[in-house]
Structure 1
């Protein structure tokens, strides 16, 4: 995920210390029940689409923007799937961030999936029974998006997602 300008500006004041940030993940399904994934340029791994809200931006707006920016697919958010505070992430440059992730289940309504920016190496639709290798982070979000029921909240009897270091 590219670092937004407002975070770069904050880093000039606070240095590398822990920065608490919101994050939004979008689990996008098409009309065939396939899930949209991107292979990230920063890690080379496949994942659900996500990013950091701009100041004042609502999570649903972030999901719509990020999915379109990264994949050229247009979506409609349908439900909050999961809210989870992630363990701190330590980046190679020394920055430390901790994200509170809001995951939304989204429905694709248009556009053709393609690499649409420099954050992804590949994008594609995958049947849920034929997913590429994914970190637990992405698998948990896809699993929760497939389940009917209420929003899942971390700390309510289950183990947290593993750190992304």
Structure 2
């Protein structure tokens, strides 16, 4: 089902729900690609909701492509981050369950749409800006620390 979150929100309003996401840590050498997100006007990893019937792998490949213009190859799973609550600017509340993957670019080119993606930049891992929520900050710390197979 495309646009599952809109369908779900039409039934529950802003009440807390669990939502599943996939995010890509797109790395080149010792730098990582970050997205300045339109929903928060802050930096985070590219990624998004896993639609009904879609795998986390399919979602991250699709979402990274949509949000950055890049085609990527998954190298490894960084981790699964599950104990995080997030309140969106519109008041929606969710426990976000996210699978983060370490990826490398294999094609395409960076593209900013000015809506969902306000900016894209590679940052040295140790010089990345503060990310928009704790889930993304923890994933960045694990990425910079060389950890894999993390579960929280």
Shorter-chain TM range is 0.7 to 0.9
RMSD: 2.0
Alignment correspondent of 1:152: 150
Q: Is the 2:34–2:45 Cα contact (8 Å) retained in structure 1?
A: yes
In the alignment of these two chains, the number of paired residues is 150
Mind listing any 5+ residue stretches in structure 1 that lack a counterpart?
A: 155-165
- Equivalent positions of 1:45-124 (< 5 A) are 45-116=42-113, 118-124=115-121
Deviations 1:108-142 (A, max 9, x none): 11222221462111011122233233344333213
Q: Which has the higher strand share?
A: 2
Secondary structure in 1 matching 2:61: helix
Provide TM-score, normalisation by structure 2.
0.85
Structure 1 residue 146: Cα displacement = 4.3
Identify the match of residue 141 of structure 1 among 139, 142, 146.
139
Gap change, CA 1:7 and 1:33, over 3 Å in 2: same
Matched residue of 1:79: which SS? strand
Q: Does residue 26 in structure 1 map to residue 24 in structure 2?
A: yes
TM-score calculated relative to the size of structure 1: 0.79
Query: Structure 1 residues 37, 12: closer, same or farther in 2, change over 3 A?
Result: same
d(CA) in 2 for partners of 1:97 and 1:130?
29
Question: Contact 2:48–2:59 (CA<8 Å) still a contact in 1?
Answer: yes
What are the superposed Cα offsets for residues 7-43 of structure 1, whole Å, 9 maximum, x if unpaired?
A: 222222223222111111111112x332111101111
Aligned to 1:157: none
Q: Aligned to 1:145, what secondary structure does the other structure show?
A: helix
Quote the residue 1:15 is aligned against. 13
SS at match of 1:63: helix
Q: Cα 1:132–1:51, aligned 2, differ >3 Å: closer, same or farther?
A: same
- Alpha-carbon distance change, 142 to 88 in structure 1, aligned in 2, over 3 angstroms: closer
Any idea what SS the aligned residue of 1:78 has? strand
Q: Which secondary structure state, in structure 2, belongs to the residue aligned with residue 129 of structure 1?
A: helix
Which structure would you say has the larger Rg? 1
